[in-house]
Structure 1
Amino acid sequence: MLLLWASGAYNVAFSADDNATSFFNDANSFLAKYVIEGCVDYHAIQNNTVELRKLVRVMENMDLSKFSHNEQKAFWINAYNLTVINSIIHHWPIKSPMDVSGFFDKLKHTIASEKLTINDIENKKIRAVYNDPRIHFVLVCAAMGCPKIISEAYFPEKLEAQLEARTKATLNDPSFIRIRADDDKTLISEIFKWYKEDFTGTGKSVLQYINQYRINKIPSNYSVSHYTYDWALNKKKRVDDLMPEIKDQPSSVEKPANLQEYTPSALLKKGQVEVKLFNNLYTDNAGFDQNGVVKESSKRQNYFSGFLQTAYGIAPKLNVGVDAILKSVSIDDVTSSPLELFTFENTSNTRTALSYIGPKIKISPFKKLNTLSIQSTLFFPLASDQQGQQNGKPYLSHDGYQWWVQVFYDQKISEKFRAFFEVDAITYIDRKLKKDNSFIDTPVKAFLSFFPTHKVTLYLLTEWAPTWGDNAIASYYSQVGIGGKYQLLPNLEIELLYTNFPLGKNKGAGTTYNLGLRFLR
């Protein structure tokens, strides 16, 4: 029994050591590959995220209970730097970590089974535990103002030597400690202002702390002030960065963008433009009665809706735009093809019209919920008698105003999975404000997205959409579907979606076929 226990203890210890060694070695290989002369090749990482995603998964599930003091310290330093890189890639392309709201203090990351912000890693897991000012020269926040990142991981067995080496290198770097001998002045990083207590905790002044690592000591009579922190991204310079005269000219080649990051809940950055064309074809030859029973029909109903949606980022948390809707309907024999609708004829059984146009506004109102946004669109009817009550033509759409209020929210599950939710309140208002022709729909949608690559998205959809009348549900439909998106070009995405309506009340029992195109610049 004792032998079995001892054997088990040995295996556990071996497993912990093995996990630690593997993590540090993999982190070392990754940094050696993508860190060049103190800068990170984010572009190369974004084009192949396999190694980074593997490291992120390991960090998420790492058990630190068997780690030694030095192993834990080295782990958290590497975890900080890798999490910063991963967050930059997650929001790529950006010019600074400050472009992302809450980058350091709001966005949560799973590290060693804990939900932590980047500031939490620094302040709660490193500064509060180890009380070592040298960590400020090895933690790299993705800004040019940070100490330079090195092309190797921090290893527990040589951590002390690495901390000493990085501190000496940084404090002797003339770009980090700027000496102006002509006017007896020293300019130092704002790091020494933000974390002053870390450097003066032993009774020394900031200048005394710096001088203990400098080869050429700063004279005590020199005045000390702080230069402005440079928040520009510490990215590896590429050819287009080094040739501004070419870069500033118009070019037909766009910089790569990860369109997966622009979910419906995401707002465009200032100056960005989005144009989306979404085409929906609905067809049925049956419907649900008031008891939810499917009733066959002798006719086939086909409805086409073409949505042209535009948006423009005027501020980090404010987008505006204009949407337009083209509608077409045909009522034909049950054996007819839904594709005949695309002749766009106007007969006694068919009708096509530019149905609605309306302005919209989208905001992200909550600082602590940066993946929640609210969009409001007011549609004005363009075609007359869209319900066909006067002209005897097929029903095209509601003949009045529409006010759409949509709440979007998405939640990251893992590097490859994300959940997205949408709750709407769509108010239909009669042109003449007649109550019997005004009502409200409240659709609720849920999506589960899977990202096999940075260009491909696969997703599942479910929706339940009740229509309210006289304080009760007058009708409803449920919808399920499967879809996919593919990034054809750096700024162009195509989307395909198929849905079916399995349940309903006073609604059609049909299917939809959808094709979307999205351009983002």
Structure 2
Amino acid sequence: MKKIIAVLAFAVISFTGFSQEDQETPKSNVQTFTPSKLLKQGQWDIKFFNSIYTQTEQTDERSSSVTIPRQTFFTNTTEIFTGISKNSRINVGFIFQVRSNTLAGQGALDVLSFENKGNESRSGVSTIAPSIRIQPFRSIPNFSLTSSFYIPVFEDQPDGFLDQRSFAWETKFFFDKTFGGNKWQVFTEADFKFNFGDDREDVAADENSGERFAGNSLFLPLSTFLSYFPSSKSTIFVNAQQAFLIGIDNPQFAGGDNFSQNSTTLGFGGKYQLTQVLNLEASFGKIVRGNNFQGLGQTFSVGLRALF
């Protein structure tokens, strides 16, 4: 934990130390409305984000790669936020997710069939989350946080994985810095997600123990994005993420497997402002290493965002 705090402190100090550049070109929505930027009173932000994660490899109980039958997970995340304060420092909204999973070696695109076949596939609305965004410091307008409470809304089934059954409280911290005459931008994100887990040993026979955490846990992804703007309406970026899953009061699954995991992801993508309202985003990510039954797959994502 001390190392994580040190990395975050170094990142903030480094980014705030960039020299201020002359504003050579006006900023577009793509440049201005990063997750760090909050909405004005009465303004709306609606985002539809779709991702397909597919894997045919995972690590063993350490970090060696082993081959597994293909597993694919589709997630649609819809976020709706609006500004409620005159000083643009408080936004409220909600998030809901729809998932579709295939787990028995099917093709990656079979996940788009949205079928329910027991251990082979599951689909449905999985979670909803009331959320609030806050800019805590007036003097640092490019620093903000989003706090959300995730509520599982899908029914129990004895088999087939859909999503994590536990309630979860997630807070994300955002910071960005634009430099180089609005041509470059560094964006950082630190997530703290607390999962209120159930002990799998206590799960009834007609429920799905595989969708429950073995006790409470903390998920900690730390991400950095470096963006370049070929024009005021477009950007390309590269990103890296180091993620940790830490068991808290019960660090082992029933049966003795160590609960904690960690992984490293590298990726790239781009955004384009289609109109004054609509932005389009596409990205690719690859988990390049992991520990303790961590999947080593790829994520393909596309999103559409409306700002008005």
**Any residues of structure 2 matched to 1:27-426 within 5 Å, and which?**
86=23, 89-90=26-27, 258-297=29-68, 299-315=69-85, 316-333=88-105, 336-348=106-118, 349-385=120-156, 391-393=158-160, 395-414=161-180, 415-426=182-193
Deviations 1:24-76 (A, max 9, x none): xxxxxxxxxxxxxxxxxxxxxxxxxxxxxxxxxxx96xxxxxxxxxxxxxxxx
Whose strand proportion is higher, 1 or 2?
Answer: 2
2-structure distance, mates of 1:455, 1:89: 10
Change in Cα spacing, 1:265 to 1:442, as seen in structure 2 (3 Å) is same
**Counterpart in the other structure of 2:220:** 442
Between 1 and 2, higher relative CO (CA 8 Å, sep ≥ 6) is seen in 2
2-structure distance, mates of 1:411, 1:339: 37
Check conservation: 1:259, 1:491, Cα contact below 8 A.
Answer: no
Displacement after TM superposition at 1:487 (Å): 1.0
Residue identity in the other structure for 1:503: R
1-structure distance, mates of 2:248, 2:111: 35
Change in Cα spacing, 1:431 to 1:354, as seen in structure 2 (3 Å) is farther
2-structure distance, mates of 1:338, 1:398: 21
Q: Does 1:482 align with 2:268?
A: yes
1-structure distance, mates of 2:138, 2:240: 29
Check conservation: 2:30, 2:234, Cα contact below 8 A.
Answer: no
Displacement after TM superposition at 1:322 (Å): 0.7
Give 3-state SS (helix, strand or coil) of 2:227's partner: strand
CA RMSD of aligned residues (A): 2.2
Give 3-state SS (helix, strand or coil) of 1:332's partner: coil
**Counterpart in the other structure of 1:56:** none
2-structure distance, mates of 1:284, 1:427: 25
Displacement after TM superposition at 1:294 (Å): 0.6
Displacement after TM superposition at 1:328 (Å): 1.1
Q: Does 1:510 align with 2:273?
A: no
Check conservation: 1:493, 1:518, Cα contact below 8 A.
Answer: yes
Displacement after TM superposition at 1:302 (Å): 0.3
* Greater gyration radius: 1
Using the aligned pairs only, state the percent identity.
29
When normalised by structure 1's length, the TM-score is 0.49
4+ residue stretches of structure 1 with deviation over 6 A?
Answer: 431-435
Check conservation: 2:221, 2:244, Cα contact below 8 A.
Answer: yes
Q: 2:241 aligns with which of 463, 470, 493?
A: 463
Deviations 1:3-30 (A, max 9, x none): xxxxxxxxxxxxxxxxxxxxxxxxxxxx
Check conservation: 2:216, 2:248, Cα contact below 8 A.
Answer: no
> Structure 1 stretches of 5 or more lacking a match?
1-58, 61-82, 91-256
Give 3-state SS (helix, strand or coil) of 1:356's partner: strand
Deviations 1:462-500 (A, max 9, x none): 101100014878101111100001111111011110110
Displacement after TM superposition at 1:88 (Å): 9.6
> Structure 2 stretches of 5 or more lacking a match?
1-19, 203-212, 252-258
Deviations 1:98-156 (A, max 9, x none): xxxxxxxxxxxxxxxxxxxxxxxxxxxxxxxxxxxxxxxxxxxxxxxxxxxxxxxxxxx
Check conservation: 2:218, 2:248, Cα contact below 8 A.
Answer: no
**What number of residue pairs does the alignment pair up?**
265
2-structure distance, mates of 1:87, 1:268: 24
When normalised by structure 2's length, the TM-score is 0.81
Residue identity in the other structure for 2:124: A
Check conservation: 1:281, 1:303, Cα contact below 8 A.
Answer: yes
1-structure distance, mates of 2:70, 2:45: 35
Check conservation: 1:401, 1:431, Cα contact below 8 A.
Answer: no
**Counterpart in the other structure of 1:152:** none
